[in-house]
Structure 1
Amino acid sequence: MKNRDVIVTGLQFPEGPAFTSDGTLWCVEQEGASLFWLKPDGTSGRVHVGIGSRPNGLHIDDRDRLWFCDSGLHAIRCINYPGQEPETIVDHMADEPLNWPNDLIFDPEGNLIFTCPGSPDDDEPGSVCVCSPVGEVKKISEKLFYPNGLAFLPNGRTLLVAETHRKRIWAGRWDAVGLNWINPTVWAETGPDGFGPDGLTLGPDNLLYAAIYGGSCLQVYKPTGVLSHTIELPGENPTNCAFDPTGRLGLVVTESEKGQVIRIEM
C-alpha cells in the first residue's frame, strides 16, 4: 500500500489542487472564499477572493496565473499573483449568467473549457462550455447531469468530462478550431459507491485519476476506460487530485469531509 500523509488540515471544503512553477501547492476553499497556498519550505497562507465568492476548480497556466471557477459569483476569474485582485474573465453566456461554474481546463490552443452543472441539489442537465482566446463563449454540451471534472487523454484530442449524478465519465473528440465536442460517449462507469466522479487528473503514467466523491477513493483508469486500480483514502469526500510536477509531493488529494490535503507517495 502506498504511503498516505495528511499535509494540510483545517481547510473549508478544499478543491482544485495545482502547482505554480516555484513548487507552491495551491487549492481553493469553497466555503472560505479563499485560495490556500503551501510553499516547499512549509509556510502557508490564503488569498481572500471576495465576499460571496465560492471558488471551485483551479487551473494554473504556464505564466503562473491562477484561474478558478467561482460558483458563488457565477464567473470564471483569474489572478496574476502576487499583488493583483481577481479579474472576471467570463460571467455570462449570451444574456444568461454562468450556472454555478465548477471546473476548468485549457486545451493546447488556449481555449478555456469549463463545466456549469448548476446547483448540486438539482437533477437537471448542466452544460459544458468553452471560451476561445478571442472571447467567443459557447456551450458544447447540455445533456450531462452535473458535469464536473475535465481532463484530456494522452493524445491531447480526446476530452473527458465527469458526470457526477450519473456516476460515469464521457469521452469525445475535441475540435479546437470549430470549438466542438464531437460524438461524446460513455468512457467509464464509476460504480455504485459514492455520489460519483468529481475532479479528473491525467497522471505522468498516462493513467486517468478520478476522485470519487463520497466513495473514499481515487479510481485509476487506463486510456481505454478500463479500471486499473483503486486508491483508498482516509476521508469520505475526495474532490480532486494533482501530481506535483517536481515529484516532491507525489500525488496530492483535496478532501472535503475532514478539510484536508493528503499526500500519496508514488
Structure 2
Amino acid sequence: MSRGWPALGMVAVLVLSGCGSEVAAGADPDGRRLLKVSDVHEATGMTLLEGPVFTPDGSLLVVDVTAPAGEPKVLTIDVRKRSVKGFLTDASSAWTSAQISPYDGRLYLTDFAAGAIDSISLDGDDPRVFFTGQVDGAVMKPDDLTFDPEGNLYVSDTTGHDEPGGPDQGRIVRIDRDGQEATVLADELPAPNGVSFDATYEGLWISEYSGNRIDRLGLTVGGKAVATQYPAVRVDAGLAQVDSNAVDASGNVYQMFHRQARVMVFGRNGDHLDTIDLPVPDDGDYSATNLAIRPGTKDAYVTVSGPSGGFVYTFRARDRGVRQSNGG
C-alpha cells in the first residue's frame, strides 16, 4: 500500500546563538542550544519536535508531530551549519517518532493519528504504509519504535495516554520486518512511551508515561516473547512525566520528559548518574522529549518544544552513540 507524500524542497535557515555541533570534551552537566527548528503553528497552536535520527550521511532528521497539512512534518537538520529544511509532508499524519531500519535502510515513522507505521526511502521517495490495522483486536496508538539487528520492529502502543485515571491499556508490540506478523509482548501498561534495546539486545527499557517509571522487559532468544518483566527505575519528576529514552554504548539509559527541560541518565543497574539541564526560555513549560547520540561519537542532540517554538539542544553524552541511541 502506498500514498503520495510530497517531498519538500524549501529551505529555511535558522541560526541562533549557542554552540556548534562540536562539544568540548569532559563533563558537560548542562545542555546548550544548537538552533531553532520550528515556530508554533497557527493552525494547531503548538509545535512538538520528536524522533531525532541520524542518516548515514550525517544529517539529523526530526519530526514535528503537530505540523499541519502542507507544512514540514519531517525536517532535515545540518548540525554543523545549524540549518534546517523541510523533507516530507502529507495531509493527515501525526508522526511521533522516526527510525532507520537495519534491514532495508528505509526511514520508518509511527503515525499516532492513523494507528499505522509508514516508511519512505532516505531520498524522500517510494512512500509506503508498512503496517496498519488491529493487533489482537485493537488498533495501536504507536508512539516510539526500535529495531532488533534483523530489522524486526518493537513499538510502544501508548493507548490510555489521553485517558488519565482510566485502566492501563498500553502495550509493547513486535512486528516482523516484513510487516506480516504482529505480536503483543506486554499489555496492561500505563501508557508506554520510550522503547530502547539494551546494549546486548537481550531486553528492552520501556518508559511508562503514566507510571513515571522505566520498566525492564527481558526477551527470549529471537525476541518473540517476554521472559522477565518488572519496574526497574522509579523516576522522581514532579509534575513532569517520562517520555522517550535512548541507550549508549555502555548501556546507560537516557530518559527524556514531557513538561521538563532536562535529561536524566541512569546506569544499567538503576543508579542515577547525571542530570542535564537545558537552558530554555522563561516563558512557560518546555518538554525535552527525545534525543539521538550521533553514532560513533558522544555528541547528543535533544528535541525541545515549548511556547517559543521547537529547538535542538546538544550536550556531551557519557559514552558513544550506537543504533539504540539513534532515534526512537
What's the TM-score once normalised by structure 2's chain length?
0.75
1:26 offset after TM fit, Å? 0.6
Q: CA deviation at 1:56?
A: 0.4
Cα distance change, pair 112–23 in 1 and its aligned pair in 2 (3 A): same
- What corresponds to 1:259 in structure 2? 310
Give 3-state SS (helix, strand or coil) of 2:117's partner.
strand
Which position in structure 2 is the counterpart of 1:59? 99
- 1:9 equivalent in alignment to 2:37: yes
Partner of 2:158: 117
Residues 164, 95 of structure 1: alpha-carbon distance in 2 compared, 3 angstrom cutoff: closer
Cα-Cα RMSD: 2.1
Q: Tell me which amino acid in the other structure corresponds to 1:234.
A: P
Q: Equivalents in 2 of 1:226, 1:95: separation in Å? A: 36
Q: 1:27-73 deviations in whole A, cap 9, x for unaligned?
A: 11101161111134444312333111100011123454211101122
CA deviation string 1:93-132 (max 9, x = no partner) = 3475633210000112322000111253213421110101
Matched length: 265
1:95 and 1:128 mapped to 2: Cα distance?
Answer: 12
1:233 CA displacement:
1.6
Query: Which structure is richer in relative contact order (CA contacts within 8 A, separation 6 or more)?
Result: 2
Q: Deviations over 1:125-182 (max 9, x none)?
A: 2111010134211111111111110112222202111101110010021125361122
Partner of 2:325: none
> Post-superposition shift, 1:91?
0.8
Could you list the per-position Cα deviations for residues 229-263 of structure 1 after superposition, in whole angstroms to 9, with x for gaps in the alignment?
A: 2111234311111101253x811000121411111
**Per-residue deviation at 1:200?**
0.7
2:289 and 2:52 map into 1 onto residues whose CA distance is 9
Normalised by the size of structure 1, how large is the TM-score?
Answer: 0.91
Out of 22-31 and 211-220, give the one that drifted further. 211-220
Match of 1:126 in 2: 170
CA distance, structure 1, for counterparts of residue 208 and residue 230 of structure 2: 12
**Match for residue 30 of structure 1 among 61, 65, 74:** 65
**Contact between 1:8 and 1:262, CA under 8 Å: does it hold in 2?**
no
Three-state SS of the structure 2 residue aligned to 1:173 is strand
Offset of 1:20 from its aligned partner? Answer: 0.3
Task: Please show how residues 1-266 of structure 1 align to structure 2 within 5 Å.
Answer: 1-2=29-30, 4-10=32-38, 12-32=47-67, 34-39=73-78, 40-62=80-102, 64-94=105-135, 96=137, 98-118=139-159, 120-123=161-164, 124=167, 125-134=169-178, 135-177=180-222, 179-235=224-280, 236-245=286-295, 247=297, 250-257=299-306, 258-266=309-317
The alpha carbon displacement at 1:223 in A equals 0.7
Query: Is contact 1:165-1:195 (8 Å) kept?
Result: no
Letter in structure 2 aligned against 1:36: L
Letter in 2 for 1:132: D
Distance 1:214 1:68 in 2: 23
Other structure's SS at 2:188 match: coil
The higher radius of gyration belongs to 2
Structure 2's unaligned 5+ residue stretches are: 1-28, 40-46, 281-285, 318-328
Structure that is richer in strand per residue: 1
Is the 1:208–1:223 Cα contact (8 Å) retained in structure 2? Answer: yes
* Cα distance in 2, alignment partners of residues 44 and 176 from structure 1: 41
How far apart are the structure 1 equivalents of 2:223 and 2:265?
Answer: 31
C-alpha contact (below 8 Å) 1:197/1:212 kept by paired residues = yes
Structure 1: tracts of 5 or more residues without a match? none
Q: Secondary structure at the match of 2:210?
A: helix
Query: 1:139/1:252 Cα in 2 relative to 1: closer, same or farther (>3 Å)?
Result: same
Q: Percent identity?
A: 23
